[in-house]
Amino acid sequence: MTGVRDQPDGPRVSLSVVEGPNSGTRYRYDERTTALVGRADDCDPRIEEPGSRQLVSRHHCLFDINPPDIRVRDFGSLNGTHVNGEKIGSRDPDETPEQGARRVFPERDLVDGDRIKLGNTVLQVGITAPAPAPDATPRGCSVCGGPVAEDPHRTGGEAVCAQCQADRGAAIEALLRRLVAGQVELPAIEGYELVKQLGDGGQGVVYLARRHGTGDLVALKMLLAKVAVKERARTLFEREIDNIQALDHPHVVGFRDAGRVGAAWFFTSEYCAQGSVDDLVERQGPLPPDRAVQLVLQALDGLQYAHNAALPNGSVGLVHRDIKPSNILLAHKGNDVVAKLADFGLSKAFDKAGLSGMTMSGTISGTVPFMARPQVVSYKYAKPEVDVWSMAATLYWMLTGRYPRDFPKHEDPIRIILDTKAVPIRERNPELPTRLAAVIDEALIDQPITVTSAAELAGALQDAI
């Protein structure tokens, strides 16, 4: 059972077994996570069914949790997932388990008191949130000042209105321009001017900025919270920022300054003028093995350092959890171009603090294809080995232009990760050296992950080239 220590200062979601063999068991969640439910050993909650007639599928449904939000999605089960007596998904009687598992069923948002039935087991949702302080209700949107809709689970804190959430890019740009014009005070980015937009992702926007007087260029990133920013979430996130800023390695993009305005955080970091590995492959197509491996070895050097770095909070090591081609940046070092890991732990920390409001389905584009199976099964407890798998997946993509797994349209990408293995890389590119292909194929085993450290993968790649 997944347990958490008592933290009354934040919202919490619980799933209580009110009917069935495990009646009386309660699962509690106080931070962003997923819960895969079914009969299989890797499920938590795991539903045990006595007797020979199995009404619950091995992987029956998925709860996506970001307290106080929770939603559920059926995974193509035979007998369906029922919410308050209504079936929200199941495969058709004439479909095989594999066919039903691949279909994407709609997610259902849940509220306090909802009852979810799987076979003979009923789980009841509980949502709790502390009462806000008398002066905690926001007067308006922390970005534009407009009205913010009241929500009993989100009262208090600094919030973002529906209009700014609907067009986050425009909201971010408007706030940035007010900041660089000095209309809003934020020392972290005073003295900069915006040059151009570099990227726009699900959580924020990145700009190129130039400092007045020196002409120094930096990457200026803004993350905009989707939920009201309360003290607990702010503290959790900013503690992680301290850890990220402490990283100092030639193959990790250096953080510089950080600051906050309402529900928006701003960061300046080293600017990598050559773009990303994603950009490079888009321009040139799949890379030659020696070039691709050279860049990945540099990124693995940075990864090995970060996984073992002593941090200001007294802990050791950070897990990135979002390694993909767009997060490996390229910069000049003399006449050479070197690789640097970007966004180290930032998205993870923002998500873990519950500020992103995103669900697993909201992270599919560009991220899920580079996620190892253990990261999908146990999102909250991802270990360094998932970064190693993602680095191998990134190398696979650099060499082939393809993901390790096939992700057909209209099929559930999460189920594909749970149910399939990586396609051997020489089936994508038969010209690849046999020894290199064997190393990559070994590193992409994830039931369980067999290559568990950046140093181990780096050593195997060096021996294969």
- Label residue 364 by pLDDT band (50, 70, 90): very low
Whether residue 383 lies inside any domain: the answer is yes
Q: How far is CA 52 from CA 56, 225, 254, 295, in A?
A: 12, 48, 57, 53
In this structure, are 122 and 174 located in the same domain? no
d(CA 313, CA 318): 12
Question: Average pLDDT, stretch 65-74?
Answer: 89
Res. 175 pLDDT band, cuts 50 70 90? confident
Is pLDDT above 60 for 254? yes
CATH of the domain at 243: 3.30.200.20
pLDDT of residue 352: 74
Could you tell me the residue range of the domain that residue 119 belongs to?
12-128
Quickly count: other Cβ atoms within 10 Å of residue 249's Cβ: 17
The packing angle between helices 289-308 and 384-400, to 10°, is 170
Residue 143 falls inside a structural domain: no
Residues belonging to the chain: 465
Q: Which of 128, 143, 171 is the last residue of a domain?
A: 128
* Same-domain pairing of 439 and 410: yes
Q: Which of the listed residues 128, 154, 185 is the one where a domain comes to its end?
A: 128
Q: How many helices (H) and strands (E) does the chain have?
A: 13, 17
Q: How many domains does the chain have?
A: 3
**Are 215 and 331 contained in the same domain?**
no
CATH number at residue 54: 2.60.200.20
Domain assignment of residue 187, yes or no = yes
Q: What is the pTM of this model?
A: 0.86
Long-range contacts formed by 160-167: CB under 8 A, 24+ apart: 160/224, 160/225, 160/226, 160/262, 160/263, 160/264, 164/224, 165/226
Q: Is residue 259 domain-shared with residue 304, that is, in the same domain?
A: no
What is the reported pLDDT for 96? 75
For residues 250 and 314, state if they share a domain: no
d(CA 373, CA 313): 29
Q: Are residues 329 and 348 in the same domain?
A: yes
Q: Which of 270, 302, 319 is the last residue of a domain?
A: 270
User: Residues 262, 399: one domain?
Assistant: no
For residue 362, what is the domain's CATH number?
1.10.510.10
pLDDT, tens digit, for every residue of 8-53?
467 899 999 999 988 999 999 988 888 999 999 989 999 987 776 7
pLDDT at 285: 96
pLDDT of 147 reads 81
Residue 154 lies in a domain: no
- Co-location of 259 and 366 in the same domain: no
- Residue 21 inside a domain? The answer is yes
Asked if residue 396 is part of any domain, the answer here is yes
Task: Give the whole-angstrom CA distance, residue 164 versus residue 46.
Answer: 40
d(CA 28, CA 1) in angstroms, rounded, equals: 9
Q: In terms of domains, do 259 and 284 share one?
A: no
Is residue 208 included in any domain, yes or no?
A: yes
Q: pLDDT averaged over the chain?
A: 86
152 part of a folded domain: no
- Clarify whether residues 380 and 245 are in a common domain: no
Q: What percent of the chain has pLDDT over 70?
A: 90
DSSP class per residue in 284-342: H-SPPHHHHHHHHHHHHHHHHHHHH-B-TTS-B-------SGGGEEEEEETTEEEEEE-
Contact 120, 55 (CB under 8 A): yes
The conformational region for residue 321 under phi > 0 = left, psi -120 to 50 = alpha, else beta, is left
The angle formed by the CA atoms of residues 234, 381 and 71, to the nearest 5 degrees, is: 70
Residues 86 and 175 in one domain: no
Residues 308 and 451 in one domain: yes
